[in-house]
A and B are shown apart, each in its own frame.
Chain A
Amino acid sequence: MAVIVLDRAPTLTLTTRTVRRGRRAANTAATWVIGVLFILALVPLASLAWTAFSRGLARFDTDFLTNSMRGVVGAGGGALHAVLGTGLITGATIALSVPVGIAAAIYLVEYGRGAFARTVTFLVDVMTGIPSIVAGLFAYTVFSLVLGPGARSGLAGALALSLLMIPNVVRTSEEMLRLVPDDLREAAYALGTPKYRTIGKIVLPTAMSGIVSGVMIGVARIVGETAPLLLVAGYSDAMNYNLFSERMTTLPVFIYQQWKFKGTDVAAYDDRAWTAALMLIAFVLVLNLSSRLVARVFAPKTR
């Protein structure tokens, strides 16, 4: 591979002496430009991380984690209602999208042949590209048809997020199921195991660690979604335990809300927004890291 070539750099230094100056200058310039571009890409990340930390820690206290914004004007208050909303909506999204996603992946890998399977594959690709705000509009049209215009609920938010998460789950599950060696399937068939039991007892358990890790990455992606929830779940200042009615705020929407509807005490609102942002970033990073861990630790032992 390319590494071997790079490791042979010492032998190349002999020839570089004969390289004409212009070519060597171009090479040096390119090396610098590429290095600078890489650092340039990390500057926003560093700035963002620093801001989230320095400003977010101001309100990272027990008050923030145990209070809602009900009746709060100015300083104080917290994001408990948003944490609750995030938990409920994310849970509902997982419940809606994981079974459908995994079943669709099983269909594509184990059963699907011909035009219909090709269509589903194509549509999953299309679905990955749906802008999140369009998913929100769709959920709105569906729910307003049933409940009338202006209806807001956590469930509608979960429907919109499912539309964004299903293609993720299908893609990663499909990839993992295809990695399961056919030998395992054939060994099961040879023992007279029906296909559905082969899938349930052999194929799925083998692929499970990869699927779980894929689902976790999918959750990390939808948990930060704001736009669709802004449309269909709305914002609220109070706790709402009921997914099926009334407005429900999530952490990302809470951030938007704190910025959008500032009172006179601007700093209090900004601090709350950054604290919520810090929590959200931390949560997303933990999910990403633990998904890598799950994939590694629970991977089927090959030898």
Chain B
Amino acid sequence: MGTVLEDRASVGQASPPGLRAPTPGRPMRRGGGTERAGDRVARTAATAAGATILVALAGVGLFLLARGLPAVRAGQGDLPEGASSFWQLAGPLAFGSIWAAALALVFAIPVAIGVALFITMYAPRRFAGPLGAIVDVLAAIPSVVYGLWGLMVFAPMTAGLYGWLATHAGWFPLFAGQPSATGRTILTAALVLAVMVLPIIAAVCREVFGQTPTLAVEAALALGATKWEMIRMAVFPFARSGIVSGAMLGLGRALGETMAIAMVLSPTPFLVTIRLLGNTNPNTIAAAIAQNFPEAYGMEINALIGLGLILFVITFVVNYLARRMVARGARQGA
């Protein structure tokens, strides 16, 4: 098999077709039939499509690197928002991206687990499908619509609550500072983000909850466990890796989300703060790119592309970890 593997792997690279053409009538290694001209064309075309994906992704990395790198050496005057160096721009934005996404997860994970439990364990089985579909509608709504909603409906509703929190719980570091009068804070943005990543996490949770071994469920109930105890003893231990990987997928989505944040948040350049309700807020990488790109020129564009590369690397790492956990969880579950 070894030679066959290498053989297949090199198809589509520049091996001269004449050398590779098998004699007509020679049996194929897999399946059957005979390798004819049509077969060779089909195989080359399919492999070329696979190679296209490789080339496209390599292209993303290389193009962003080539165009983003000059910005690292750029100085004051060339960079967006009057930054004095690329890192002064990138650092706070990277913080903002991670902070907003982490906050969103804090809200989204418990709700997603509750939603998934409700659908898989509490709702009548007949309604499980439709209820799941309703939650999935949340994922189908475009982010720009969430932005519009967050800005015009949700943020004004929160402003009063933020004022109250700042007055009565201002001693708590997260709620300190002058509260925003518009409600367009990092907390509001994170809540909107939470709504957007909720269906992703809930979908993964629903899947792993549904795969709980029936034997464990029945054993727990037979021992007299209440439903909640059964969930804690049989469902959660089995689903832990699934929940974590679902959360990571949600994190990847939250980090890359652009429009909802760009519209809801009213940002202050170069700000790093953990205050949630203030009238000054840190910005995120994705939102900063969307806000600055249409009017950017020259080195500013390179700087924004460099920011994009940083975002790409962060989401790549997060998604890679999530996928690896999904794969490992599947192997354990099997």
Contact (A194, B34) CB under 8 Å given A31-B228, A38-B114, A112-B50: yes
Q: Is the interface of B mostly helix, strand, loop or mixed?
A: helix
Please tell me the size bucket of the interface on B. Answer: 35 or more
Chain B residues with Cβ under 8 A from A18's Cβ?
Answer: 224
CA distance A119 to B229 in the complex (A): 43
Instruction: Pick from A100, A111, A185, A221 the residue with the most CB of B within 10 Å.
Output: A111
Q: Are A141 and B64 in contact (CB under 8 A)?
A: yes
From B15-23, B40-48, B181-189, B266-274, give the one contacting chain A.
B40-48
Q: Are B48 and A103 in contact (CB under 8 A)?
A: yes
From B316, which residue of chain A is reached at the shortest CB distance?
Answer: A126
From B319, which residue of chain A is reached at the shortest CB distance?
Answer: A129
- B57 an interface residue at 8 Å Cβ cutoff? yes
Chain A residues with Cβ under 8 A from B289's Cβ?
Answer: 133, 137, 227, 231
Q: Are B46 and A111 in contact (CB under 8 A)?
A: yes
Chain A residues with Cβ under 8 A from B334's Cβ?
Answer: none
Interface string of A2-13 (1 = CB under 8 A from B): 111110000010
From B194, which residue of chain A is reached at the shortest CB distance?
Answer: A44
Chain B residues with Cβ under 8 A from A101's Cβ?
Answer: 49
From B227, which residue of chain A is reached at the shortest CB distance?
Answer: A27
In chain A, positions 222-275 with a C-beta closer than 8 Å to chain B are 223-227, 230-231, 234-235, 252-253, 255-256, 259, 270, 273-274
In chain A, positions 136-165 with a C-beta closer than 8 Å to chain B are 137-138, 140-142, 145, 149-150, 163
Q: Are A288 and B140 in contact (CB under 8 A)?
A: yes
From A18, which residue of chain B is reached at the shortest CB distance?
Answer: B224
CA distance A232 to B113 in the complex (A): 38
Q: Are A113 and B4 in contact (CB under 8 A)?
A: yes
From B81-89, B171-179, B214-222, give the one contacting chain A.
B214-222
- B279 an interface residue at 8 Å Cβ cutoff? no
- B14 an interface residue at 8 Å Cβ cutoff? no
From A69-77, A276-284, A295-303, give the one contacting chain B.
A276-284
CA distance A33 to B227 in the complex (A): 13
Interface string of B286-319 (1 = CB under 8 A from A): 1001100110010001001100110110011011
Chain B residues with Cβ under 8 A from A252's Cβ?
Answer: 142, 144-145, 259
CA distance A285 to B145 in the complex (A): 14
Chain B residues with Cβ under 8 A from A42's Cβ?
Answer: 134-135
Q: Are B41 and A34 in contact (CB under 8 A)?
A: no
What is the CB-to-nearest-CB distance from A213 to chain B, in angstroms, rounded to a whole number? 14
Q: Are B228 and A285 in contact (CB under 8 A)?
A: no
From B31, which residue of chain A is reached at the shortest CB distance?
Answer: A189
In chain A, positions 61-85 with a C-beta closer than 8 Å to chain B are none
Chain B residues with Cβ under 8 A from A23's Cβ?
Answer: 226, 229
Contact (A51, B117) CB under 8 Å given A111-B46, A163-B56, A189-B31: no
CA distance A280 to B141 in the complex (A): 8
What is the CB-to-nearest-CB distance from A6 to chain B, in angstroms, rounded to a whole number? 8
Q: Are B4 and A5 in contact (CB under 8 A)?
A: no
Chain A residues with Cβ under 8 A from B59's Cβ?
Answer: 138, 142
Number of A positions contacting B (CB below 8 A)? 116
B263: contacting residue among A103, A106, A256, CB under 8 A: A256
Q: Are B227 and A31 in contact (CB under 8 A)?
A: yes
B221: contacting residue among A12, A29, A45, A288, CB under 8 A: A12
Q: Are A285 and B258 in contact (CB under 8 A)?
A: no
Number of A-B contacts (CB under 8 A): 324
Contact (A2, B38) CB under 8 Å given A45-B138, A104-B52, A114-B8: no
Q: Are B255 and A256 in contact (CB under 8 A)?
A: no
CA distance A130 to B256 in the complex (A): 8
Q: Are B137 and A37 in contact (CB under 8 A)?
A: no
Q: Are A24 and B138 in contact (CB under 8 A)?
A: no
- B162 an interface residue at 8 Å Cβ cutoff? no
What is the CB-to-nearest-CB distance from A123 to chain B, in angstroms, rounded to a whole number? 5
Q: Are B4 and A137 in contact (CB under 8 A)?
A: no
Contact (A134, B259) CB under 8 Å given A116-B50, A119-B54: no
- A52 an interface residue at 8 Å Cβ cutoff? yes
Interface string of A91-134 (1 = CB under 8 A from B): 00000000111111011101111111101100111111111111
Q: Are B5 and A103 in contact (CB under 8 A)?
A: no
Q: Are A141 and B33 in contact (CB under 8 A)?
A: no
Chain A residues with Cβ under 8 A from B111's Cβ?
Answer: 37, 40-41
Chain A residues with Cβ under 8 A from B318's Cβ?
Answer: 129
Chain A residues with Cβ under 8 A from B221's Cβ?
Answer: 5, 12
Q: Are B135 and A41 in contact (CB under 8 A)?
A: yes
What is the CB-to-nearest-CB distance from A119 to chain B, in angstroms, rounded to a whole number? 7
Chain A residues with Cβ under 8 A from B50's Cβ?
Answer: 103-104, 107-108, 112, 116-117, 120
B226: contacting residue among A24, A133, A137, A259, CB under 8 A: A24
B60: contacting residue among A48, A163, A196, A273, CB under 8 A: A163
Q: Are A270 and B152 in contact (CB under 8 A)?
A: yes
- B164 an interface residue at 8 Å Cβ cutoff? no
CA distance A12 to B148 in the complex (A): 49
- A16 an interface residue at 8 Å Cβ cutoff? yes
CA distance A117 to B4 in the complex (A): 13
CA distance A42 to B134 in the complex (A): 8
Q: Are B286 and A131 in contact (CB under 8 A)?
A: yes
Q: Are B149 and A51 in contact (CB under 8 A)?
A: yes
Q: Are B141 and A284 in contact (CB under 8 A)?
A: yes
CA distance A192 to B125 in the complex (A): 47
CA distance A174 to B189 in the complex (A): 36
5 A-B pairs closest in CB distance: A224-B142, A131-B256, A37-B114, A189-B32, A103-B49
Residue contacts A-B, CB under 8 angstroms, 17 given: A19-B226, A30-B227, A33-B114, A37-B115, A104-B50, A119-B54, A130-B60, A131-B312, A134-B311, A137-B289, A141-B63, A190-B32, A224-B141, A230-B294, A256-B263, A259-B151, A277-B148
